[in-house]
Structure 1
């Protein structure tokens, strides 16, 4: 006899305003418990001390996670000038210091090389895997960690505030896989004064905004109640990055079975990725070819 799967078939997105001091996985586990959901995941890790948007997908929404992780994200963060740490944030040990303090104009000039397609070396204390092991674990064990540079698209990096000579507040908009701690470290090196992150907040991620985020206290207050589902955003909110086509009544079953199906489309080019809806709910994501959607991802939403 097959084992009964635990949890509810609940689907949707929850935008959590993650508090400092909590890991991203801990947030997902708490949300999964609160909704009694069978499946949950998030669209982009935040460091434990970071705050802001942590988009949690439940049920069928987990199939749309890649569309959010691949989208642009924005961070506002504070850099402490004059000190480098072994973790590139305030949690680590100070490993170098400098009395140099660049001017605002010098900082602005130094930001330009960090915009566009750049190569970035992740922090040694990061979740990047080296021979199957996390870099942070090797670093904690005292091993000399060498990480390869990775490409990163930086849409913009601007100076927001200079509250005092030792601190600078920056706003970063970047693509998938960016490390804010590496930006702070490398900017400090470019300015000749060292630097590390002391405060970090993700203000938006794809379609999700921090000001629309739900705090953990509210999630816990509504946990396992009928009212908690009112916090969810629809699955299709993560599909706003691509065109929508309409599935015909006859094609819904074909599409959900992974077969091409007729769709009604406007201003969609041959081969373009899009998503099909029926009755206001997502049916599939795929590529449009000659009046049909060829699905590569299907949704089973009642």
Structure 2
């Protein structure tokens, strides 16, 4: 807390800052009602993508424009913050947060917005992704550890396992060639939502394709064919 940077994180140049002394800054942070402040960022919110990001506007990456010293107008986009809590305070002006958010959330922007709401300004010092989908750091392996393993391939998972969150259909052998040709397979499962991505599994248990379910005709159309 205390100032923003032109990149939104500690690698950037100081952009704005208050005229507060360290003592005044610490006093403000001690008097903030953090539960109330953070609750205002939970649920669906709208964020303006930072200039230093890979988002494209008019066919150009924002970071490319930022490196040219340009700043353009960006539309706010909806994101969802499911959880936002303080884990610890490191020193008097640095806080560590736990955040559960939707894909596309800019944590640097969230840090800036929290700092503005607190009245002090802020930037992101460090970011660690602890989970993505069903995979967490508990599933991760250090590269050095893998290099030292006698049989690192034993830690590989199948593509079917990697997409465990998706519903699946088992293809009979007589549908494999049709799937390879991009033709749909009619299914009977009524629980799949219209437009959902679906794993298409062959009778050997391998991922044959990823398809899209079309409720009107009860068909799964292959979109990514792997056979």
Structure number with the bigger relative contact order (C-alpha 8 A, sep ≥ 6) is: 1
Please state whether the residue corresponding to 1:153 is helix, strand or coil.
Answer: strand
Q: 1:256 to 1:292 in 2, by over 3 A?
A: farther
Distance 2:129 2:2 in 1: 24
Shift of 1:260: 2.4
Please state whether the residue corresponding to 2:127 is helix, strand or coil.
Answer: strand
Please state whether the residue corresponding to 2:174 is helix, strand or coil.
Answer: coil
Please state whether the residue corresponding to 1:102 is helix, strand or coil.
Answer: helix
Distance 2:184 2:215 in 1: 9
Is 1:113–2:40 an aligned residue pair?
A: yes
Conserved in 2, the CA contact under 8 Å of 1:243 and 1:275?
yes
Conserved in 2, the CA contact under 8 Å of 1:89 and 1:197?
yes
Shift of 1:104: 7.5
Alignment-derived partner of residue 76 in structure 1: none
Query: Higher mean Cα deviation, 187-196 or 272-281?
Result: 272-281
Q: 1:298 to 1:226 in 2, by over 3 A?
A: farther
Conserved in 1, the CA contact under 8 Å of 2:32 and 2:118?
no
RMSD over aligned CA atoms reads: 2.8
4+ residue segments displaced more than 6 Å = none
Q: 1:300 to 1:96 in 2, by over 3 A?
A: closer
Instruction: Report the TM-score when normalising by structure 2.
Output: 0.81
Shift of 1:121: 0.9
Alignment-derived partner of residue 111 in structure 2: 184
Please state whether the residue corresponding to 1:199 is helix, strand or coil.
Answer: coil
Distance 1:129 1:261 in 2: 36
Q: How does 1:123-134 map to 2 (within 5 A)?
A: 123-134=50-61
Distance 1:250 1:211 in 2: 40
* Structure 1 residue ranges without an equivalent (≥5): 1-80
Alignment-derived partner of residue 245 in structure 1: 169
Is 1:160–2:87 an aligned residue pair?
A: yes
- Larger Rg belongs to: 2
Instruction: Report the TM-score when normalising by structure 1.
Output: 0.63
Shift of 1:252: 2.3
Conserved in 2, the CA contact under 8 Å of 1:203 and 1:209?
yes
Distance 1:231 1:116 in 2: 37
Distance 2:208 2:219 in 1: 11
Report which of the two has the higher share of strand: 1
Q: 1:131 to 1:226 in 2, by over 3 A?
A: farther
Distance 1:246 1:104 in 2: 59
Shift of 1:276: 2.6
Conserved in 2, the CA contact under 8 Å of 1:85 and 1:196?
yes
Conserved in 2, the CA contact under 8 Å of 1:158 and 1:170?
yes
